[in-house]
Amino acid sequence: MIKLQNLSKSYGSKTVLQNINLQFERGHVYGIVGKNGAGKTTLFRCIAGLEDYSGNIQSDKDRLKDHLGLLLTEPYFFPKITGAEYIRLLCNARDVKVDNLDQRNVFDLPLGQYAATYSTGMKKKLALTALLLQQNEYFILDEPFNGVDIQSNIVIVEIIRKLRELGKTVIISSHIFSTLSETCDEIHLLREGEIVRSVHEQEFASLEQEMKVDFVGGLVERILGSGQ
């Protein structure tokens, strides 16, 4: 369980998050959606302990960050570290021994190659593989489907479903709403740093329609005209 109470974050005079109150339970998958700049990544960084904040974050683990795997939109890799070395480095940080790494390389990554030379999608799959092999209890996945091929997207969806089955807590952001509706138990809409709507599965379709109106509005007509 992760519980956020009145979580707020500002950079100088700019408020990025304002009074976020959410609870994430074990064995559930949660989606966070919103426009670019709504505060999704900042929220994730606060939960992961990478940002200072006001308010309170509680969990059923003494040190949340020691049990949490954060997949950033653009994972960082040292210039001279191979894929295999990166995985072992992250697993060593959790004191987890990894056997049969080649067999567990489900994305068929070139693990002997420097990770910095990977494509965007390969980097994301490498980072996700390492987080999974760390045996974390909580997962925050910031745009896990962006830049990833269709086959890998399908695999990631099934991985998320399996994590739920294993009793893990998963929090995802994605601009691809269908991937959220396929995996999530709840979806929360973040707008200008505030949670403005929280829905369960039966309301996903209405939330998607609301988002289309909010995000698209009259933009298509402005660039293409009304067709009359």
Buried b (16+ CB within 10 A) or exposed e, 99-136: eeeeeebebebebeebbeebeebbbbbbbbbbbbbbeb
* Predicted pLDDT at 96: 94
CATH number at 71 reads 3.40.50.300
Domain count, the chain: 1
* Predicted pLDDT at 226: 67
What DSSP letter does each residue of the chain carry, written as one string?
Answer: -EEEEEEEEEETTEEEEEEEEEEE-TTEEEEEE--TTSSHHHHHHHHTTSS--EEEEEESSSSGGGGEEEE-SS----TT-BHHHHHHHHHHHTT-----TTTT-TT---TTSBGGGS-HHHHHHHHHHHHHHTT-SEEEEESTTTT--HHHHHHHHHHHHHHHHTT-EEEEE-S-HHHHHHH-SEEEEEETTEEEEEEEGGGHHHHHHHHHHHHHTTHHHHHH----
Residues 105, 152: Cα–Cα separation, whole Å? 12
Structure tokens at 27: 């064995």
Structure tokens at 146: 């962006």
* Predicted pLDDT at 214: 73
Residues 150, 168: Cα–Cα separation, whole Å? 25
At position 85, the amino acid (one-letter code) is E
Q: What is the dihedral of CA 202, 70, 97, 116, to 10 degrees?
A: 120
* Predicted pLDDT at 126: 97
Residues 117, 171: Cα–Cα separation, whole Å? 28
Nearest of 102, 174, 86, 74 to residue 134 by alpha carbon: 86
Structure tokens at 14: 């700019």
Below-50 pLDDT ranges, the chain:
none
Nearest of 214, 210, 218, 172 to residue 33 by alpha carbon: 172
